[in-house]
């Protein structure tokens, strides 16, 4: 990746396209114990991000991410809009005014996004939400980068951690959201949000090297 803005564009575009492509899959996962609108809501919101792609300010990666967050918040319905919008808003805010953020600054921004989700959703690790995949994913990314791995390796490790954690939500009982109303019936299927995090991370890992090659 040549600049932080390039990286932000690549990551967000990849997530947006993957959300649209997996609308039915995410919806089917959500319908097991949720209300089934997760895939639809996410796809409609990220469709709007892609539709307005060229209109977003690109002063730096943070400004760009905040503009995306505003679109997500206003376009995604249900509980997903505020949660995903807050995540992007907090992360973008942490990067704003930093043309080339350090590894520490990137990780801090990602953790700010996670904290935003926790507060907005009144959830934490163990409640069977996307947090259960997102926290281990960012932990793995940080550990890999601080160990001196290159970005592609770090993203790869992030994806593995996200998938392992998402799969592990199958054995958990949902404590938040619509799924929590089903009690023990929520045990036995993975959380749709956690799986979405894993799918996004895996797509980033698959396409990272291709993107890097295109930059040179």
Taking only the tens place, the pLDDT of each residue in 10-69 is 999 999 999 999 999 999 998 887 778 889 989 999 999 999 999 999 999 999 999 999
- Between 211 and 120, the more confident residue is 120
Tell me the domain boundaries of the chain: 4-205
Q: Which residue has the higher pLDDT, 2 or 25?
A: 25
pLDDT band of residue 215 (cuts 50, 70, 90) is low
9-27: pLDDT as tens digits: 999 999 999 999 999 999 9
Confidence of residue 212 (pLDDT cuts 50, 70, 90): low
Of the pLDDT bands very low, low, confident and very high (cuts 50, 70, 90), residue 181 is low
CA proximity to 65, closest of 27, 18, 8, 109: 8
pLDDT band at 171 (very low <50, low <70, confident <90, very high): confident
pLDDT surpasses 80 at 101: yes
Answer for the pair 206, 213: CB distance below 8 angstroms, yes or no: no
Rounded CA gap, 185 and 208, in Å?
38
Is domain 4-205 given the CATH code 3.30.70.260 in the classification? no
Tokens of 13: 């575009």
Give 180: exposed, middle or buried? Use CB within 10 Å, 0-12, 13-18, 19+.
middle
CA 17 to chain centre: 13
- What band does 160 get if pLDDT is binned at 50, 70 and 90? very high
Instruction: Report whether pLDDT(126) > 70.
Output: yes
Query: Terminus-to-terminus CA distance in the chain, angstroms?
Result: 9
Answer yes or no: pTM beyond 0.75.
Answer: yes
Taking residues 69-91, what's their average pLDDT? Answer: 86
């Amino acid at each position: 990746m040549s600049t932080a803005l390039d990286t932000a564009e690549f990551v967000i575009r990849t997530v947006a396209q993957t959300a649209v492509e997996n609308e039915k899959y995410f919806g089917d996962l959500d319908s097991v114990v949720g209300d089934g609108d997760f895939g639809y809501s996410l796809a409609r919101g990220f469709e709007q991000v892609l539709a307005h792609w060229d209109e977003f300010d690109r002063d730096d990666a943070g400004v760009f991410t905040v503009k995306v967050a505003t679109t997500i918040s206003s376009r995604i319905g249900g509980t997903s809009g505020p949660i995903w919008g807050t995540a992007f808003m907090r992360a973008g805010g942490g990067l704003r005014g930093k043309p080339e953020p350090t590894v520490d600054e990137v990780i801090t921004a990602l953790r700010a996004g996670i904290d935003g989700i926790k507060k907005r959703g009144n959830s934490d690790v163990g409640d069977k939400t996307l947090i259960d995949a997102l926290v281990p994913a960012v932990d793995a990314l940080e550990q890999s980068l601080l160990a001196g791995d290159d970005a592609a390796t770090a993203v790869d490790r992030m994806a593995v951690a996200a998938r392992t954690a998402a799969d592990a939500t199958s054995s958990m009982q949902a404590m938040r959201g619509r799924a929590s109303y089903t009690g023990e019936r929520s045990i036995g299927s993975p959380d749709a949000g956690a799986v979405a995090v894993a799918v996004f991370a895996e797509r980033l890992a698959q396409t990272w090297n291709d993107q890097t090659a295109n930059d040179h």
